[in-house]
Amino acid sequence: MNRSHESSTRAPWSANRLGLNYREEAKRLGAPPCPIIDVHSHIHGLRAAEVYREVRDLYGVSSTYSMSRLSEVPALQELFGDSMRFIAVPEFMAEDRKHAHTQGFLDSIEGFHGRGSRIVKFWTAPRSRDYGKEAGDPLLLSLDNEWRQRAMDLADSLGMMFMAHIADPDTWFQTKYTDASFYGTKAQQYEPFERALEAHPSPWIAAHMGGWPEDLAFLDGLLSRHDNLYLDTSATKWMVRELSKHSRDEFISFLSKWAGRILFGSDIVTMDEHLIEDDDPAKLKAGQASGREEAFELYASRYWALRTMYETNYDGESPIADPDLAMVAPERFDDMAAPRLQGMNVPKELLRSVYRDAARDLLDSWHADHP
């Protein structure tokens, strides 16, 4: 594939199948009905963070919550000031994985708290069982694990709320997670979560529409059962693919019923490796950027797709390739295939809730109450 970095009309690639000019597109979309708070991102690398900042400014995102490495937090705070807050995470890349998710996690939580973080993230996706198994315990990252209970107790004592990644797309349960005796069924992922929601009454933000955007009725039940539960809309490919399948009426009535408890998030991941210009096939396959312009497009594509879904009447293919399509139906799709993106034209009042007010009401008051 020719990935020319000089030409202005760039070859279509996984973050821009449609050859959009994401700078012009941001102008065309115009300012959102209010500045957007992105409650879910992973900002790594200072040079990549600067690219992200350009994207954020163009697309009307005024503040960001990021799961960055603790060691990068001071520099990011210098770059973003008060407009970036941090979510405490364990050191996933640590050599001593067991330590990183036991005592090391408790230390990280204290460190993040000292840097102003008031949210602790628990990643407990089904594939965390593979990750845990490599460290000797498939349930190392389960919410029922004793060390995770300790982490929750510590968070409670420090006045921190919770974020959790519970489940993955239905497409993954149809393909990667067919061994339910090891991974559990999708419904089973929610059992430890519902126990944790009961045991720790502080607010919980369940990432990626609670992990089940495919099933709004399930989410409705979950939100009804737990007053301390909030959802974020992050994971752009997944959200675009699955939320676009609901009718506009269903989607809007879900958003209005639960207004105040649904928070905008993107799950944008930045890293300095994106800025290196190379043609590493592994990078290409993973849809990763190669060079500054691709990094820009990779990050911009997420805000473009989410805002287009929420704000417009667009009805066409997503500009972002979605490899889940080929994973489920390899005879019908290739790696560059993309799903339908349905513009939901969400009323402005409701958009302001999802984009800003729900996050502000929850997080600003939490920060004020837990200085």
Which residue sits closest to Zn ion, CB atoms considered?
A: 267
**322 interacts with Zn ion by CB under 5 A:** no
Residues 324-353 that bind Zn ion (CB under 5 A): none
Give, as ranges, the residues between 209 and 268 that touch Zn ion (CB under 5 A). Answer: 267
Q: Closest approach of Cβ 42 to Zn ion, in Å? A: 6
Between CA 263 and CA 8, with CA 53 as vertex, the angle to 5 degrees is: 115
CB of 152 to Zn ion, least distance (A): 19
Nearer to Zn ion, 33 or 213 (CB): 213
Least distance (Å) from Zn ion to the CB of residue 269?
A: 7
- The C-alpha R_g of the chain, in whole angstroms, comes to 20
Residues in contact with Zn ion, counted by CB under 5 A, come to a total of 1
Nearer to Zn ion, 20 or 235 (CB): 235
In the complex with Zn ion, the residue whose CB is nearer, 269 or 350, is: 269
Strands 268-270 and 315-317: unpaired
CB neighbour list of residue 126: distance below 8 Å, 6 or more residues apart: 167, 168, 172, 173, 177, 183, 184, 189
Closest CA to 371 of 118, 170, 162, 174: 118
Q: How far is the CB of 112 from Zn ion (least distance, A)?
A: 16
CB atoms within 10 A of CB 80: 18
CB of 10 within 8 A of CB of 314? no
Site string for Zn ion, 169-208 (x = CB under 5 A): ----------------------------------------
Closest alpha carbon to 241 in 133, 328, 155, 143: 328
Nearer to Zn ion, 193 or 314 (CB): 193
Rounded CA-CA distance 155/205 in Å is 14
Nearer to Zn ion, 214 or 267 (CB): 267
Q: Given the complex with Zn ion, which of 63 and 342 has the nearer CB atom? A: 63
**Dihedral of the CA atoms 112, 118, 124, 130 (nearest 10)?**
-10
Q: How far is the CB of 141 from Zn ion (least distance, A)?
A: 14
CB of 2 to Zn ion, least distance (A): 32
What is the smallest separation between the CB atom of 351 and Zn ion, expressed in angstroms?
22
**What is the smallest separation between the CB atom of 330 and Zn ion, expressed in angstroms?**
27
**Closest residue by Cα to residue 176 from 218, 233, 125:** 125
Cα 320 to chain centroid, rounded: 16
**Binding residues among 105-164 for Zn ion as defined by CB under 5 A:** none
Binding mask 22-51 for Zn ion (x = CB under 5 A): ------------------------------
Footprint of Zn ion on 260-319 (CB under 5 A): 267
CA distance 232 to 98: 29
Structure tokens at 33: 């009905």
Q: Toward Zn ion, which CB reaches closer, 235 or 354? A: 235
Tokens of 108: 């990280």
Q: Which of 238, 333 has the CB closer to Zn ion?
A: 238
Which residues lie near Zn ion (CB under 5 A)? Answer: 267
